[in-house]
Amino acid sequence: MIGRLRGTLAEKQPPHLILDVNGIGYELEVPMTTLYRLPAVGEPVTLHTHLVVREDAHLLYGFAEKRDRELFRELIRLNGVGPKLALALMSGLEVDELVRCVQAQDTSVLVKIPGVGKKTAERLLVELKDRFKAWETMPSIATLVVEPRGTVAVSSAENDAVSALISLGFKPQEASRAVSAVQEENLSSEDLIRRALKGMV
């Protein structure tokens, strides 16, 4: 129903954001890999979207690239994978990293994602192997990652980073430890999340 939104980034509270489109604020949830590519608040941005309709809510998910959205759609088609787990997988791994895990049938990285045990990881890799055949020849999106602009107060950035990791399924103590371990002065919340996830996954 809603496939793409173009507007001004009004709020950024990882992993949630509000996109102002002609005065209407759309609330979206995004994977961390998309969050890293977002401009500063107040800047224009275009996101590819996927709408999930539930009995109790309409949830809008946003992605920097069409390829990211296609991966999300592939993941939620799998048995036992909902939007929350799909976002956790996409937040911990770039698309190309996930493709490499599938090619090698390597569960070691996947089991570090919250909500993914060894059996789930093995099942995901088997189910994704055929689906990813077409993805292996697609150009890498890793080169599209840009450093986020602007910084926020350290305490606020730290809190935002911890909250984002908790929303992805990490335990509060795990999230706090991971952020504290990578904390440096003047790092934005996006940088803290990126470094913390790298340390955990």
Amino acid, single-letter form, for residue 196: A
Range of the domain at 169: 154-199
Band of pLDDT at residue 200, cut at 50, 70 and 90 = low
Contact 54, 34 (CB under 8 A): no
The structure's pTM equals: 0.67
Same domain, 48 and 72: no
Answer yes or no: is pLDDT of 184 > 50.
yes
Residue 10's Cβ-count burial label (10 Å; 0-12, 13-18, 19+) is: middle
Last residue of a domain, one of 109, 137, 165: 137
Contact 201, 92 (CB under 8 A): yes
Same domain, 122 and 174: no
Band of pLDDT at residue 133, cut at 50, 70 and 90 = low
Same domain, 70 and 49: no
Inside any domain, residue 193: yes
Contact 40, 149 (CB under 8 A): yes
pLDDT in tens, 38-52: 999 999 999 999 999
Same domain, 37 and 57: yes
Number of domains in the chain: 3
Inside any domain, residue 143: no
Inside any domain, residue 146: no
For residue 102, the domain's CATH number is 1.10.150.20
